[in-house]
Chain A
C-alpha cells in the first residue's frame, strides 16, 4: 500500500516537473522518459526470455515514420493507433517466422531488420512516391510529448509488473531458463513468446510515434539510427534486464552520461559506448540491481 502511494506521489511529481523547467531541461526529461520506456519495453520480452532483440530501432523508426506519413491526413489519436498496429503487425511477422526456432535465428533476424526496413522505405520513397524526406506538422508541445511518454513509460512498467505476477511472467521466466522444460511443463512456447514480443514491439513503436514530433523533418537515415537499439540493450543490461525496475535504473544515468559524452566527445562517442557495453557484459552479468541483491544476500548470510 505504501509502495503504491509512493509510486503515485512520484508519478505526480514527475508529471509536474516540466512546469518548472527550461526547454533544455525539458528536452532531457523527454529523453529520459523515452529511454526508460524503450529499455523497459525491450526487457519485457528480451530480459525475461533472454531472446536478444537487436531491432528496437526498427520498430521505433516505424512508429516515427508512420506519424510522418499520416500526420496531415488523420487525427493524432488515430495516427498513434495506426503506428501501434503497424508495429504489432511487423512484430507478428518477425515472431511467427523466427520464434518457433532456436533463439539464434531471432537474434540474426532482428540484427538486420532495422537496416532492411530502412532500405525498403528508402527504396519505396525514392521509386514510388518520389520523395525522401517528410515533414511533421503537429500542434503538439514538448510538454505534451513528455506527458505522453511518461504515461507510456508508466504503462510499460505497470504492465511488466502485472505480467511478472501472472502466468505469462512465469512462463517467460521458465522459457528464459530452459525451453525444453517449459514445453514439457505444458507451456505453449511459440504463443507465449509471440505475445510478449508483440507487446514489447508495439510499445516501442508507440514510443517512436510519440517522440516523432520533436523532429520536424524526418527521413529514414534519421529515424533508423542504430544507436537507439544499442542504447536500449545496454541500459536494460546495466540495470538488470530481468528485474522490474532494472531497465529504468539503467536508462536514467546512462542517458545523462551519453548525452554528456555526445556533446563533449562527439568523435570518440561510439567507441566509449562500445567499451562500456563490453564492460557491462563482463562485469555486471546480472545488472546493477542483480549485483546489489547478491550483495544483500551475502550480507544476510554473513550476519
Chain B
C-alpha cells in the first residue's frame, strides 16, 4: 500500500472531495443583505456546532474520555434519521425523540463495555487520555466502516421543510430554523439543568475535582457513565439537526469531531457556557469565510482559529488562567 494507490472504494470515499460542511445552500442564500445572511445562517450552523461541542465537552470534561469517534456517532444518528424518514416517512421531529434515548443507551453501553475497563486500568489522567484516544480512534474506523457498508459513500440529504421564510430580510429554509430550535432546546435545557439541579451540581463537582468527588459521596464511575451517555445523546441530537439541512457522507465524521474539539478547547474543557458561545462563534466565522472568501477554506479557518486560541489563551477563551 505504500507506494501503490489504494484501490479501496471505502478509502477513496474517506478522503472525498473538497465540499466543506455547513456551506449555505444556494436556495437559501439571499443576495440582498449579505451581512444579515451571514449572521442568520451562521447562527443556525453555530447552533449545531454548539450542541455538538456541548456533548464532547461533557464526555471529555466529566467522563474524562477523549472521544475521537464522536463525529461518527453524530453521523450514525444523521443516517438513521434519513433512513427512517425514507423508509417509513416518520417525521424527523418524531425520530429525534426516539434517537436521543437510544443514543443515551448506546453511550451507556459503550462506556460500560469499552471505556470503563480503560479507566480502571489507567492509573493517571495522562494514561487514560492516551488509551481513550487510541481506543476511540479504532472505534472511529469501525463505525465509519459500518456506515460505508450500510449506506455507501455517497452524499445524503433529506427533503424536509425546505420552503423558505423571511427573517429580517433574509430568506431562510424552515428546516434550518427547526434545527436551530432543536439545538437551542437541547443545549439551553441542559445548561439550565447543569446549573440549577442537584444532579447538575454532582456533574460539575465531578468535572472540577474528580479526585475529591468521592469524598462527598459522589459515585464517580456512575457520573462518568451518565456523562458519556449524555454526551452520546447530544452527539445524536446534533446529528439529526445536521441531517435536516445539510448534505453529509459517511466520511465526514473526522471533520465534525475536529470542529467540536476546537470549540471545546476554545470554550475551555468542561465549560458548558464556553462551548455554547464558542460554537456560535465558529458557526459565524465559518459562514463568513464560506460566503465572503471561499467555501473550500472553512476547515482552514477552523484551524487558524484553533491556532490563535492555542497561542493566545491555551486555557480557553473563557477559562481562568490556572
Asked if B189 is at the interface (CB within 8 A of a chain A CB), the reply is no
Asked if B26 is at the interface (CB within 8 A of a chain A CB), the reply is no
Partner of B2, one of A35, A52, A97: A35
> How far apart are the CA atoms of A226 and B15 in the complex, in Å?
8
Instruction: State how many angstroms separate the Cβ of B5 from the closest Cβ of chain A.
Output: 5
Asked if B10 is at the interface (CB within 8 A of a chain A CB), the reply is yes
Asked if B162 is at the interface (CB within 8 A of a chain A CB), the reply is no
- How many residue pairs link A and B with beta carbons under 8 A? The number is 194
Chain B residues, Cβ within 8 Å of A276: 138
Asked if A168 is at the interface (CB within 8 A of a chain B CB), the reply is no
Asked if A95 is at the interface (CB within 8 A of a chain B CB), the reply is no
A104 touches B66 (CB 8 A): yes
- Chain A 202-234, CB-CB to B under 8 Å as 1, else 0, gives 000001000111110100111011111011011
Partner of B142, one of A50, A115, A278: A278
Chain B residues, Cβ within 8 Å of A214: 2-5
Which residues of chain B (107-154) have a CB below 8 Å from chain A?
A: 114, 117-118, 121, 126, 129-131, 133-135, 137-146, 148-149
Instruction: State how many angstroms separate the Cβ of A222 from the closest Cβ of chain B.
Output: 5
Instruction: State how many angstroms separate the Cβ of B31 from the closest Cβ of chain A.
Output: 22
Partner of A221, one of B17, B117, B254, B257: B17
A103 touches B8 (CB 8 A): no
Partner of A230, one of B2, B6, B141, B255: B141
Asked if B90 is at the interface (CB within 8 A of a chain A CB), the reply is no
Asked if B294 is at the interface (CB within 8 A of a chain A CB), the reply is yes
Given A105-B314, A122-B296, A277-B137: A221 and B2 interface contact (C-beta under 8 Å): no
A274 touches B307 (CB 8 A): no
Q: Is the interface of B mostly helix, strand, loop or mixed?
A: helix
Partner of B145, one of A105, A109, A145, A269: A269
Given A105-B314, A262-B1, A267-B149: A116 and B303 interface contact (C-beta under 8 Å): yes
Given A50-B130, A111-B254, A233-B134: A278 and B139 interface contact (C-beta under 8 Å): yes
Instruction: State how many angstroms separate the Cβ of B278 from the closest Cβ of chain A.
Output: 14
Chain B residues, Cβ within 8 Å of A112: 254-255, 258, 261, 299, 302-303
Q: Which bucket holds chain B's interface residue count?
A: 35 or more
- Chain B 301-322, CB-CB to A under 8 Å as 1, else 0, gives 0110011001100100000000
- Chain B 253-268, CB-CB to A under 8 Å as 1, else 0, gives 0110110011001000
Which residues of chain A (237-282) have a CB below 8 Å from chain B?
A: 237, 255, 258-259, 262, 266-278, 281-282
Chain B residues, Cβ within 8 Å of A224: 15
Q: Which bucket holds chain A's interface residue count?
A: 35 or more
Given A38-B2, A215-B5, A227-B11: A50 and B296 interface contact (C-beta under 8 Å): no
Chain B residues, Cβ within 8 Å of A270: 10-11, 141-142, 144-145, 148
B141 touches A119 (CB 8 A): no
A115 touches B255 (CB 8 A): yes
Asked if A138 is at the interface (CB within 8 A of a chain B CB), the reply is no
- Chain B 6-32, CB-CB to A under 8 Å as 1, else 0, gives 101111101111101000000000000
- Which partner residue on chain B sits nearest A258 by CB separation? B1
> How far apart are the CA atoms of A227 and B2 in the complex, in Å?
11
Given A233-B137, A282-B117: A123 and B18 interface contact (C-beta under 8 Å): yes
Chain B residues, Cβ within 8 Å of A212: 3
Instruction: State how many angstroms separate the Cβ of B25 from the closest Cβ of chain A.
Output: 20
B296 touches A119 (CB 8 A): yes
A105 touches B141 (CB 8 A): no
Instruction: State how many angstroms separate the Cβ of B292 from the closest Cβ of chain A.
Output: 15
Partner of B300, one of A119, A127, A275: A119
A97 touches B311 (CB 8 A): yes
B299 touches A259 (CB 8 A): no
Instruction: State how many angstroms separate the Cβ of A283 from the closest Cβ of chain B.
Output: 11
Instruction: State how many angstroms separate the Cβ of B236 from the closest Cβ of chain A.
Output: 20
Chain B residues, Cβ within 8 Å of A38: 2
> How far apart are the CA atoms of A228 and B285 in the complex, in Å?
32
Residues of B within 8 A of A (CB): 1-6, 8-12, 14-18, 20, 66, 68, 114, 117-118, 121, 126, 129-131, 133-135, 137-146, 148-149, 254-255, 257-258, 261-262, 265, 294, 296-297, 299-300, 302-303, 306-307, 310-311, 314
Residues of A within 8 A of B (CB): 27, 30-31, 33-35, 38, 50, 52, 54, 97-98, 101-105, 107-109, 111-112, 115-116, 118-120, 122-123, 126-127, 145, 149, 207, 211-215, 217, 220-222, 224-228, 230-231, 233-234, 237, 255, 258-259, 262, 266-278, 281-282, 285
A-B contact list, 16 entries, CB within 8 Å:
A34-B2, A52-B130, A122-B18, A123-B18, A126-B18, A127-B294, A149-B3, A214-B4, A226-B11, A233-B137, A267-B149, A269-B10, A271-B142, A274-B139, A278-B142, A285-B131
